[in-house]
Amino acid sequence: MTEFFANVDWPEIVRATRDTLLMLGGSMALTVLFGIPLGVLLYLSGKGRLAANPVLNGLLSLIVNILRSVPFIILLIVMLPVTVILVGTSLGVAGAIPPLVVGAAPFYARLVETALREVDKGVVEATQAMGGSTFQIVTRALLPEAMPGIIAGATVTAIALVSYTAMAGVVGAGGLGDLAVRFGYQRFQTDVMVVTVVLLLVLVQILQMFGDALVARVSHR
Amino acid sequence: MIRLEGVTKRYRSAAGERVALDAVDLTVGQGQVFGVVGRSGAGKSTLIRTINRLETPNAGRVFVGDQEITALKPAELRAARRRIGMIFQHFNLLNAKTIEENVAFPLRLEGRPDAEVRARTAELLARLGLAEHAKKHPAQLSGGQKQRVGIARALACGPEVLLCDEATSALDPETTDEILSLLDELNRELGLTIVLITHQMEVVRRVCDRVAVLKDGRVVEEGATADVFLHPKSPVTKAMLAEGEGGETFDASLAPAGGRLARLTFRGPATYEPELSRVARSVGVDYSILSGRISRIRGEPYGQMVVAFTGGDAEAAVARLSERGVVVEAVS
């Protein structure tokens, strides 16, 4: 057993796992914080919606599409100077979070927009007919009704972020993915590769199960 | 209570402009149940939506009570909408909320104090027989129960007007009946003014005091339900009535030779009197009934039949029947 895992530096693994979880937690929180309002704006400004505005919608859509079409690895590098301004460093967990959020928030915003579109227009109309303001319609009717989709989207996004954190290792972010690349791949330490990949798999599995359980809880269809 | 003046609504699409409502004038009295019928695409949905301005007309004015709905600012409009309840074909309940929360929703939106919301919600649930379902979600209820929740929600803020958008079209006949009885009851007990749109003539027959027939965005016929149903003037009304009743069963070619044909309409308690028989005996004429229907329109009994008079003085029979308040029309 110890022979097979000869190259594995367990304290290092623990540190890397902690870094991955911190990156994931921090970037996910910010992704939700920016992604939901952006998704709501995309929805509301869409054709035939409550605050239809083709110019705003076109602009937001363009920004989202640009950010989504830049390969994440490129985004990481392009973001370096911005990251330094924002958090004072481009290294470590803190340095990884800005590019992760910029990469994931537009993706999540689209998923939120899609979830909102799934809500029956009749619900919006009924809330309007009851004298609800646009703000009330969004916060009291649309978002609660779309909650299963919003949570399912968050699950997908969180899992995408797990693989993004691995790439963030390239710019010195640390974490499990970084370990897999530097030791497992570049130094041919298969045991390190196996351990990190298994840990990432467990993480993804937990995220999916947790997300599904949450969706089941809020679904009443 | 509700007045539409020259209300016009045009939709622009890639195919050009389409007129959904063409200078519609309508007046709905306080406490009336007013039906708007028409085929799909006639503009019924647009019409009912101009009353709470879910659709803003391109021209014309809409009044509800003493307020001009078409002139209100956004905040005033939201306040006005609380006094206009609305129910929908597909109920439009919030799936994520319980029945109780759905009924409380308009009160919550208005920001009423919690204790008041609870009391009012409990009262409405009890009144509509929904108390046992309070903690369930809409997906657990049947269509009829969902529409009851819709009605409870529409009544929450104590409206003066209830708009019903094809409220029974998604329900089976039995449930439709149950919902119509409920609307009738609310109209009588609360004095609620009700505007309902439907393509089901039977719905109008059951509950409406007055009816307007819409075709291509225009009102082609309007009047008391019994008048419109028994003596329809426009081709659309006639066609819709015929479809609703399985078509005119009378076939002129089957009438006895030399008979004088007449359509007789009895209304009110006279429907059940042996008028026709008495008159026939007194003037010495025979009659055969070629088609007929005896039913009720909003609770008022009526009978309408096509008869052929033979072997006697048909003219005298017609005159005698007219004297007794039976409406006699020539049949071609």
Residues B96 and B228 in one domain: yes
pLDDT in tens, B280-307: 898 889 888 888 888 888 888 898 888 8
Q: What is the mean predicted confidence (pLDDT) over B14-27? A: 89
Domain contains A5: no
Q: Which of A131, A147, A221 sits opposite B81 (nearest CB)?
A: A131
Which residue numbers of B have CB closer than 8 Å to A's CBs? 52, 54, 78-82, 84, 86, 88, 90-97, 105-106, 108-110, 137-139, 153, 157, 163
Tell me whether residue A2 is in a domain.
no
- Sheet (strand B16-28) strand order: B16-28, B2-13, B59-64, B67-68
**CA B189 to chain CA centroid, nearest Å:** 18
Predicted confidence band at B260 (pLDDT cuts at 50, 70, 90)?
confident
Q: Nearest CB to B54: which of A128, A141, A220? A: A128
Q: Both B97 and B232 in a single domain?
A: yes
- What average pLDDT does the structure give for chain A? 91
A71 to A35, A98, B244: CA distances (angstroms): 19, 15, 63
In the structure encoding, which two tokens stand for residue A85, read together? 């301004």
pLDDT tier, B246 (very low <50, low <70, confident <90, very high otherwise): low
Phi, psi dihedrals of residue B5, rounded to the nearest 5°: -125, 110
Identify whether A113 is part of a domain. yes
CATH number at residue A47: 1.10.3720.10
Same domain, yes or no, for B220 and B258?
no
Q: Do A131 and B78 touch (CB under 8 A)?
A: yes
Using pLDDT thresholds of 50, 70 and 90, give the confidence band for residue B247: low
Helix (H, G, I), strand (E, B) or coil at A175: coil
Q: Do residues B21 and B170 share a domain?
A: yes
Is A14 exposed, middle or buried (CB count within 10 Å of its CB: 0-12, 13-18, 19+)?
exposed
The domain spanning residue B73 has which CATH number? 3.40.50.300
Q: What is the residue-averaged pLDDT of chain B?
A: 91
Residue B122 lies in a domain: yes
Of B195, B210, B243, the domain-final residue: B243
Quote the CA–CA distance of A121 and B266 in Å, as a whole number.
Answer: 47
Does residue A171 belong to the interface with chain B, where contact is any CB pair within 8 Å?
Answer: no
From the centroid of its chain, how far is CA B282? 41
Q: What is the 3-state secondary structure (H, E, C) of B40-99?
A: CCCCHHHHHHHHCCCCCCCEEEEEECCEEHHHCCHHHHHHHHCCEEEEECCCCCCCCCCH
Q: Please judge whether A131 and B108 are an interchain contact, meaning their C-beta atoms are less than 8 angstroms apart.
A: no
Q: Do residues B276 and B307 lie in contact, with contact meaning Cβ atoms separated by under 8 Å?
A: yes
Q: What is the pLDDT of residues B180-237, one digit of tens each?
A: 999 999 999 999 999 999 999 989 999 999 999 999 999 999 999 999 998 889 998 9
pLDDT of residue B164: 96
Residue B215 and residue B100 in one domain: yes
The partner residue sitting opposite A126, judged by closest CB among B82, B88, B108, is B88
Number of domains observed in the structure of chain B? 2
pLDDT of residue A46: 92
pLDDT < 50 regions, chain A:
none
Residue A177, pLDDT score: 83
Q: Across residues B29-39, what is the average pLDDT?
A: 94
Among chain B residues, CA nearest to A123: B92
If asked whether residues B231 and B108 sit together in one domain, one would say: yes
Domain annotation covers residue A191: yes
The pLDDT value recorded for residue B249 is 58
B258 and B239 in a common domain: no
A3 reaches B (C-beta below 8 A): no
ipTM of the complex: 0.86
Residues B82 and B202 in one domain: yes
Q: Do residue B215 and residue B287 come from a single domain?
A: no
- Contact residues on chain B for A122, CB-CB shorter than 8 A: 88, 90-92
DSSP state of B142: -
CATH of the domain at B316: 3.30.70.260
Flag whether A1 is in a domain: no
| Whether B96 and A145 lie within 8 Å, measured CB to CB | yes
**pLDDT tens-place string over residues B116-143:** 999 999 999 999 999 999 999 999 999 9
Please say whether the beta carbons of B313 and B296 come within 8 A: no
pLDDT of residue B315: 87
> Could you tell me if A138 lies within 8 Å of chain B, comparing CB atoms?
no
Domain boundary among B197, B222, B243: B243
Count other C-beta atoms under 10 Å from residue A65's C-beta: 12
Domain span holding position B100: 2-243
Long-range contacts, B250-255 (Cβ 8 Å, 24+): B250/B290, B250/B291, B250/B306, B250/B331, B251/B290, B252/B331, B252/B332, B254/B290, B255/B290, B255/B308
The confidence score (pLDDT) of residue B24 equals 93
Residues of A within 8 A of B53 (CB-CB) are: none
CA angle, B11 then B17 then B18, to 5°: 60
Q: How confident is the model at residue B34 (pLDDT cuts 50, 70, 90)?
A: very high
A120 touching B, CB under 8 A?
A: yes
Instruction: Please give the tally of structural domains in chain A.
Output: 1
Instruction: Assess whether B306 and B216 both reside in one domain.
Output: no
* Same domain, residue pair B97 and B173: yes
Q: Are B163 and B86 in contact (CB under 8 A)?
A: yes
**A110 within 8 A of A42, measured Cβ to Cβ:** yes
Distance (Å) of CA A131 to CA A49, B82, B151, B232: 17, 6, 16, 39
Q: Which of B238, B241, B239, B234 is nearest to B220 (CA)?
A: B234
Q: Is residue B193 part of a domain?
A: yes
Domain of residue A16 covers 10-218
- Domain-terminating residue out of B212, B243, B274: B243
pLDDT of residue B204: 92
For residue B90, give the amino acid letter. H
Query: Do B76 and B144 belong together in one domain?
Result: yes
Chain B residue with CA closest to A121: the answer is B92
Does residue A189 lie within any of the structural domains?
yes
Asked if B96 and A126 come within 8 Å (Cβ–Cβ), the reply is: no
Contact A93, A120 (CB under 8 A): no
Q: How far is CA B321 from the centre of its chain?
A: 31
Is A39 a member of any domain?
yes
